[in-house]
Amino acid sequence: MDQDLPGLAMSRSFGDAVACQVGVNAIPECREVTLTTQDKIIVLASDGVWEFMPNEEVASIIYPFYLQKNAEKAAETLVRAAFKRWKHEENYSIDDITCIVIFVDIK
């Protein structure tokens, strides 16, 4: 490839002169949410998870581990599922697959 295009732009957003030309910046996107007793699980994940996996599928993968109170295994299983999906959907590349799973217990 002989084009001057950014690769993994998220990790290069600080001071990347090429990526800033296409809209990448180092300003985080923040959102404040008030959790309720209805909220049980928080999933923070990179686009490597969300590219081919809808919210409902992610929830169905994680929920059995919520019942077991095993967030670490939930995250591991989600990453493995996302990896398998990338291999099935894209033969030539796999995006960054990162996630954090938090189980919430608000009373």
DSSP letter for each residue of 1-14: --S---SSGGGG-T
pTM of the model: 0.75
Residue type, 15: G
Apex 69 CA angle, 102 and 77, nearest 5: 70
Give pLDDT, residue 9: 47
Measured between its terminal Cα atoms, the distance across the chain in Å is 55
Residue 47 CA to its chain's centroid (Å): 5
Q: What span, in angstroms and rounded, lies between the C-alpha atoms of 104 and 101?
A: 10
Give pLDDT, residue 53: 94
What are the tokens at 51?
Answer: 């590219």
Give pLDDT, residue 21: 79
Give the total residue count for the chain: 107
Model confidence pLDDT, tens digit, residues 21-66: 777 777 778 899 999 999 999 999 998 999 999 999 999 999 999 9
